Amino acid sequence: MSSTQQDRRQAGAEELITDLDAVIVGAGFAGLYALHKLRDEMGLSARIFEAGDGVGGTWYWNRYPGARSDSSSWIYCYSFDEELREEWQWSERYPGQQEMLGYLEHVAEKFDLNRDIQFGTRVTEATFDEETNRWEVRTDAGDVVSARFLVAALGALSAANVPDIPGLETFAGDRYHTAEWPKEGVDFTGERVGVIGTGATGIQVATEIAEQADHLTVFQRTANYALPAGNHPMDAELERWYKENYDEIWESVRHNFSGHDYDPIGKVALEATPEERERAFQERWERGGFGLWLGNYDDILESREANDTVSEWVRQKIWERVDDPVTAEKLTPRDHAFGTKRVPLEMGYYEIFNRDNVELVDVQKAPIEEITPTGVRTKHGEYEFDVLVFATGFDAMTGPYNKIDIRGRDGQLLRDKWAEGPRTYLGLTSAGYPNLFAITGPQSPSVLTNMPVAIEQHVEWISGLIRHMRDNGLAVVEPTSEAEDDWVDHSQEVAHTTLFPQSATWYMGANIPGKPQVFLPYLGGLGGYRQKCDEVAANGYEGFAFADREGSNA
Ligand code: N01
């Protein structure tokens, strides 16, 4: 809040309140489509508040070198507009950050969205007023807005996590988190660089920095099973193919498990011969992408024995690519099952460790004890740097909600309600928080899917519900506690039929000290989830309670 606004509030001066039908928080893939849908297709008054000074969300903030999509470009985009999909040309299978950002800027321009986006403005508070049945939303720019609906398009991975390492503030060199990368870029030429973290981001950024820096040290706590991306330029034939088959391709990704273009093998690994498995794994490896993870045998993420077959196979592949056996062993994951931690895609990552200017430090064996003015001290010694890069991930899924004071009925803070883990109905709504909708929120398939496909499903479902309310003179919607309890239980049950909860991952909240350890996304698959949401709607929005404008139950 600006000091003038603060002074005004403290002095109890009357505030300028804007009335809207909907406030949307965030101008990434989700927020942009929500604005288009609610404003242009449904005629509602709506505004986005966006902390960045441009659209793009993830693609606005994550400008680090090597940032790149890991979903096929022709399905990592919107499908809702035929003209948009025809006119846009992707240059690669996996577009880089600048191309992704360019796409989202193009979308904002095409649909004239910017006029209803307030940039550089962070929503700090949202309070549901039980008298008026409206949300009062406040921002750090001093705005006060009253809205019937609040749409959280916050992103699942938008609350950057910088670990609380002693001495962090004392570092005298330059320090960056990958998700808050400076727009002007960073020149690593001639620099000694330390990268902390080897998740999907750390792997991408280290691969690029290795080429430029004088010396690069990668601090690895958990080795990952990274798979070759298999990126390639788009050619005319591929573009013709996906444009001609667009409807069919999208019909498939909307209804399959992950929203990606990988078909499961349709049998179990343990019934295949070793030769068959070898062939199946090798084919997927060569094609690149998530095929080994999302298009593999049916039992690899459910049976430890089946999983061992692919885990061991990927370990061998890592060994084949790294010259030094000690480094190869450090890079080989042995503490978790393949695929239970988000699988990163790489483009030459393992080979950087064959270079003279790159060193790998295992901080599981020798944890980081302190950041010093000149570098990083582990149990085994001190490393000196000019630049430190934190590729240390996010307070995933619930973190972005916890950063805002969201008060529902009886003034209860959402973060207090979620203190033991998120509680939602369908990952879309939460009891006690009427007319609040989460796009790709916790307990929805979200991060386990190709996000734009999941986002379109959510935005379309939410707008269907708002339309239903309008057609029936309803003003307030809220899930029942029973429906919510059932969904929370179901979402945990599904996760626990798999190997996922056995690994310490951000899916489980394990990367943030003190965070409750519950499986955060919904593992039932996008297709099944879509069907469930559609059934709920077809059955008169079962599990929801409605009230009219005066608050009378309907
Ligand atoms: O974050 P992460 P990310 N000391 O949490 C380590 C998506 N994404 O930004 O594994 C030392 O995965 C931590 O160690 P450990 C994708 O969904 C997509 O890489 O917790 N190390 C880990 O190595 C992805 O999963 C793309 O033991 C510490 C790393 O930091 C998600 O974003 C690209 C530490 C964090 O890895 C998050 O990925 C990039 C400490 N104190 C990301 N604290 C696409 O391609 C943390 N670490 C689209």
Ramachandran angles phi, psi of 285, nearest 5°: -60, -45
Q: Of all protein residues, whose CA lies closest to atom 39 belonging to ligand 1?
A: 201
- Is residue 287 predicted with pLDDT exceeding 70? yes
- Report whether residue 368 contacts ligand 1, using a CB cutoff of 6 Å: yes
CA of 340 to the centre of ligand 1 (A): 14
Return the domain boundaries, the chain: 3-55+113-159+396-548, 168-390
- Is residue 12 predicted with pLDDT exceeding 60? no
At the fourth CATH level, the homologous superfamily of domain 3-55+113-159+396-548 is FAD/NAD(P)-binding domain (3.50.50.60)
Average pLDDT for 310-330: 98
- Report whether residue 68 contacts ligand 1, using a CB cutoff of 6 Å: yes
Considering the chain, what percentage of its residues have pLDDT values greater than 90? 95
- Report whether residue 221 contacts ligand 1, using a CB cutoff of 6 Å: yes
Residue 166 Cα distances to 176, 178, 197, angstroms: 17, 20, 17
DSSP per-residue codes, 18-86: EEEEEEEE--SHHHHHHHIIIIIIT---EEEE-SSSSS-THHHH---TT-B--S-TTTSS--S-HHHHH
Q: Of all protein residues, whose CA lies closest to atom 11 belonging to ligand 1?
A: 221
Q: What DSSP designation does 115 have?
A: G
- Report whether residue 200 contacts ligand 1, using a CB cutoff of 6 Å: yes
- Report whether residue 375 contacts ligand 1, using a CB cutoff of 6 Å: no
- Report whether residue 398 contacts ligand 1, using a CB cutoff of 6 Å: no
Question: CB of 478 within 8 A of CB of 545?
Answer: yes
- Report whether residue 70 contacts ligand 1, using a CB cutoff of 6 Å: yes
What confidence score (pLDDT) does residue 5 get? 43
Q: Which residues pair with 202 in a beta bridge?
A: none
pTM of the model: 0.96
Report residue 553's pLDDT band, with 50, 70 and 90 as the boundaries: confident
- Report whether residue 393 contacts ligand 1, using a CB cutoff of 6 Å: yes
Closest CA to 445 of 384, 389, 397: 397
Ramachandran angles phi, psi of 385, nearest 5°: -140, 155
DSSP per-residue codes, 430-481: -TT-TTEEESS-TTSSGGGS-HHHHHHHHHHHHHHHHHHHHHTT--EEEE-H
- Is residue 417 predicted with pLDDT exceeding 90? yes
- Is residue 513 predicted with pLDDT exceeding 50? yes
- Is residue 425 predicted with pLDDT exceeding 70? yes
Task: Dump strand ranges (E) for 140-232.
Answer: 144-152, 174-177, 192-196, 215-220, 227-228
For ligand 1, mutation pick of 370, 392, 447, 449 (most atoms within 8 Å of CB): 392
For ligand 1, mutation pick of 177, 511, 512, 517 (most atoms within 8 Å of CB): 511
- Is residue 2 predicted with pLDDT exceeding 90? no
HEC string of 299-343 equals CCCCCHHHHHHHHHHHHHHHHHHCCCHHHHHHCCCCCCCCCCCCC
For ligand 1, mutation pick of 221, 225, 346, 503 (most atoms within 8 Å of CB): 221
H or E stretch at 545:
strand 544-547
Looking at ligand 1, which atom is closest to the CA of residue 200? 19
CA distance 511 to 351: 27
CA of 251 to the centre of ligand 1 (A): 32
Looking at ligand 1, which atom is closest to the CA of residue 504? 20
What confidence score (pLDDT) does residue 319 get? 97
| Six token digits for residue 229 | 């991306």
- Report whether residue 342 contacts ligand 1, using a CB cutoff of 6 Å: yes
Q: Of all protein residues, whose CA lies closest to atom 25 belonging to ligand 1?
A: 342
Nearby residues of 7 by Cβ (< 8 Å), 6 or more positions away: none
Question: CB of 317 within 8 A of CB of 226?
Answer: no
- Report whether residue 363 contacts ligand 1, using a CB cutoff of 6 Å: yes
Q: What DSSP designation does 163 have?
A: -
Ramachandran angles phi, psi of 30, nearest 5°: -70, -50
- Report whether residue 196 contacts ligand 1, using a CB cutoff of 6 Å: yes
Q: Of all protein residues, whose CA lies closest to atom 48 belonging to ligand 1?
A: 69
What confidence score (pLDDT) does residue 120 get? 98
String of b and e for 148-169 (b: at least 16 CB within 10 Å)?
bbbbbbbbbbbbbbebebeeee
What confidence score (pLDDT) does residue 14 get? 53
String of b and e for 460-490 (b: at least 16 CB within 10 Å)?
bbbbebbebbeeeebbbbbbeeebbeebbee
What confidence score (pLDDT) does residue 17 get? 75
pLDDT in tens, 333-363: 999 999 999 999 999 999 999 999 999 999 9
- Report whether residue 515 contacts ligand 1, using a CB cutoff of 6 Å: no
- Report whether residue 511 contacts ligand 1, using a CB cutoff of 6 Å: yes
- Is residue 554 predicted with pLDDT exceeding 80? no
Average pLDDT for 483-508: 98
CA distance 480 to 476: 13
Q: Helix 451-471 and helix 526-538: axis angle, to 10°?
A: 0
CA of 341 to the centre of ligand 1 (A): 10
pLDDT in tens, 126-177: 999 999 999 999 999 999 999 999 999 999 999 999 999 999 999 999 999 9
CA of 202 to the centre of ligand 1 (A): 7
* Residue in the block written with tokens 């788009």: 234
Q: What angle do CA 411, 414, 416 make, to 5 degrees?
A: 90
- Report whether residue 434 contacts ligand 1, using a CB cutoff of 6 Å: no
pLDDT in tens, 355-397: 999 999 999 999 999 999 999 999 999 999 999 999 999 999 9
String of b and e for 341-373 (b: at least 16 CB within 10 Å)?
bbbbbbbebbebbeeebbebbbbeeeebbebbe
